[in-house]
Structure 1
Amino acid sequence: MIIQWSEQAIAEVQTRFGEDALTWKLVSDSEGCGCSMNGVATLWAIDAPLDDDLPTQSNRLAVWYEKRHEVFFDDVMRMTYDPDKRAFKLASDGQIYTNRLMLIDKRTAKTLI
């Protein structure tokens, strides 16, 4: 799986989540959907991938996914950002997954000492 990030999308991720948000997980999130086949594409900022997560090829940010979610995504996708809508878009040549991709910070809260 390949995810190509636009420069504008990378800049917005860094603005919203900080420059240390370098590791992400692409999921087909079905929580609240009622069915595991009706998931919504979502990106989670994570501390580190799980042992069985698989890496994507990405031009900037490290993106991981679970093998079981692979069926929901195309081999090559693009991540862009629309400043007018203040929204991320995940698309491939064959489809638009979402014009309003949710990015959720699932990293462990850092304690300041």
Structure 2
Amino acid sequence: MFIQWSDEAVAEIAARFGPGASTWKLVSDSEGCGCAMNGVAALWMLDEPESGDLRAGSNRLEVWYEKRHEVFFDELLRVSYDAGRRAFKLASDGQIYSNQLRLEDRRTAATS
């Protein structure tokens, strides 16, 4: 899996989360969905990857994912930012995963 980040997306992440926001995890988040097959794509900012996470290739930020979530995503993904809508977008050549991609700060320091 490879993630391409637009310049606008990287700049907005730095503005929202600070310059240290470099470790992310791509998930198919099914929390509250009622079914593991109906997940919503999300990016979680982490202190560090969890044991067993796989590292995706990336042109900018560090991205990790769980092997079990690999089936939900295409091999090449793009993260962009639309300033007019104040929204991140996750897409591939074959589909749009989200026009309002949720980015969540899950660092332990953020919850303290």
Query: Would you say same fold, with TM above 0.5?
Result: yes
**How many Å separate the matches in 2 of 1:31 and 1:91?**
21
Aligned length: 110
Identity percentage over the alignment? 67
TM-score for the superposition, normalised by structure 2 = 0.97
Aligned letter for 2:7? E
Equivalent in the alignment of 2:93:
93
* 1:40 maps to 2:33: no
Task: Give runs of ≥4 in structure 1 deviating > 6 Å.
Answer: none
Unaligned runs of 5+ in 2: none
Equivalent in the alignment of 1:75:
75
SS at match of 1:19: coil
Structure 1 residues 2-59: Cα deviation after superposition (integer angstroms, max 9, x where no partner): 0000000000000000000110000000000000000000000000001200000001
SS at match of 1:94: coil
Structure 1 residues 58-96: Cα deviation after superposition (integer angstroms, max 9, x where no partner): 011000000000000000010000000000000000000
**How many Å separate the matches in 2 of 1:36 and 1:66?**
14
